[in-house]
Chains A and B, each alone.
Chain A
Amino acid sequence: MPESILSIRNLTKTYDNGVTAVDGVSFDVDRGEFLAIIGLSGSGKSTLLRCINRLHKPTAGIIEFDGIDVLGLPPSEVRALRTQIAMIFQHFNLIERHTVMSNVLMGRLGHTSTLSSLFNKFAPHDREQAMDCLELVGIADKAHVRADQLSGGQKQRVAIARALMQQPRVLLADEPVASLDPATCHSVMQYLRKVNREMGITVLCNLHFLSLVRQYADRVIAMKSGEIVYCGQPDAIDDDWFARIYGEQARQVEIQ
């Protein structure tokens, strides 16, 4: 078994409008690692994550997930791949009009037949597992509340529970705390760390704040205009590197 769970080589994504969001990016992700990706808005972080689970189709390059060539997969196997790579989003992307329970169960869609899911039928043990996942993120008491009744932090925890329902091996987190206030922000980050440490799920997390990166990440990649400009230990990013990544005018902001 190879040491790295994800291996990315020369990944390039050019959109139809001619914008190259990711430009020849190469890196490896170790099993069980908490990898943070930082960079300005528009530096290609989100596109990079979406290439990994094939929400976007890369223009060129190689992505290997556990030895499988991700870019050569036919559509049905892309779905099978996605069941192993869960994702959470900046805007949570819950189905607002459904209950928390129903939202978490959607994490099983990849393992549920289309016909039974049409009638909202999930296996009984899926419901038990959904309760377990909700308990894990400390929100089991809200199981039968509609998702639009929750606060931002609660919504993101539901999204984590939905991701855990997939029993994934990798969790992609696209700016998971960017729409949250500083206090809730840490709560969500701590759940991500818990998922990473206790369940052994590899986490790739796009972040804005370097202080969060230093606190939670094992390793950090910095992107600028679609390219990797830094790769290494979070503590090694000094003021000089910070200016290079974020531009001269940027100032570090601490999140307590």
Chain B
Amino acid sequence: MNRNAGKRIFFDAIVFGYLLVTAIIVCSHAAEPELLVYLRAGLFVLCCVAGGTVAMILRARGIQTLGGALFERPQISDSTAPRTWYKTFWGGSLIFLFLVTFVMGWVVTDMDLYELVDEHALNGAGRLFAALASPQFDILPTTILAAIETVFIAFMATVIAVPVAFFLSFLSAKNIMGGSAPSFVCYGALRTVLNIIRSVEALIWAIIASVWVGIGPFAGMLALMIHSVAALAKQYSELVECVDEGPIEAIQATGATAVQTVRFAVIPQIVLPYISFTIYRWDINVRMATIIGLVGGGGIGEILIQYQGQAMWHEVGCIIVVIAVIVWLMDTASAYIREAIK
């Protein structure tokens, strides 16, 4: 109860602080660099403190705020019908928050519809599209070789990641590890590490790997493999967490050990979804391998960036055709296989 109140106030403080900062910036007609200066000066923190005060006052007066709706759900009473959500205070503030953020976003991202339809800009885009639409197929053999490299990069990354992720998925599943304090600590630590690895994009891992083992397909494979381990372990462990408890109870009741229980009650339930996720991951990895080539991870992305750098748009067009075909093939194949093993 108290922890939820804390969460609620914290959340509301940030919401109100954010609105307050926005209001101040708009009122002072501050330009973008100054906005950063304001932030550095701790204006945001000050506003959050002010927002926190507002949040506490609202809570004391019993007004349901956004944070309250999220963290402190009131008991549903039968006597009064609840108001439609957008007529409530929290619903109204949600809509207001969204509108403010949309307008802020418009300004921050330099949205300019005029640039999109400017005559000069349209001409340039037109020339580029014309070149891409008439691909130069002389480089097709090289492109296909690079494409094959890309598929193998993705394949190796997935194959190596699967056993590691399989093993880690049990150690990062709450229902397996929640039993005792030491195993729960191990679960928490592993979850954190995996989350950190996963939150670093494969593209960044490729940059790290290309420094580590040198530019080339190996670096690309390594980057995808690291990212796949974390992503698969997360997906796998979620599957482990939603297995039917009944068979687990039944196997435990025979006097089985924890390892035997996992082997006989958990694994049979998760094999098919595991395979399905693994194929999907390979599919994702093929698409990612293309991108990773751009930063030195080998494969088709590498030649794409070369021709793009020389503005050889007809050749780029050919590469794009090959990429499209591969992605389409992988997509269809993986969807078909996943459907077949359901």
Q: Which residues does A use to contact B, with CB under 8 Å?
A: 50, 53, 55, 79-83, 85-87, 89, 91-98, 106-112, 114, 117-118, 159, 162, 166, 172
Contacts and interface: CB of A to CB of B under 8 A. Distances in A.
A205 to B, nearest CB: 15
Interface residues of B, number: 19
Contacts of B127: none
Nearest to B259: A114
A109 B257 CA distance: 8
Interface in B247-261: 247, 249-257, 259-260
Contact of B264 (A83, A85, A109): A109
Contact of A107 (B254, B257, B269): B254
Q: Which among B247, B265, B269 has the greatest number of chain A C-beta atoms within 10 A?
A: B247
Contacts of A114: 257, 259-260
Given A97-B268, A98-B268, A114-B260, A91 B246 contact: yes
Contacts of B268: 95-98
A79 B257 contact: yes
A114 B261 CA distance: 10
Given A87-B250, A93-B249, A166 B255 contact: yes
Given A95-B265, A114-B259, A114-B260, A89 B249 contact: yes
Contact of B259 (A85, A98, A110, A118): A118
Contact of A82 (B247, B252, B259, B271): B252
A166 B263 contact: no
B250 A94 contact: yes
Contact of B252 (A55, A111, A118): A55
B252 A93 contact: no
A114 B251 CA distance: 13
B246 A89 contact: yes
B253 A55 contact: yes
A93 B254 contact: no
A108 B251 CA distance: 10
Contacts of B253: 53, 55, 82, 85-87, 172
A50 B248 CA distance: 13
A96 B267 CA distance: 12
A49 B79 CA distance: 40
16 contacts: A79-B255, A83-B255, A87-B250, A87-B253, A89-B246, A89-B249, A95-B247, A95-B268, A106-B264, A108-B254, A109-B257, A110-B255, A112-B260, A114-B257, A117-B260, A118-B260
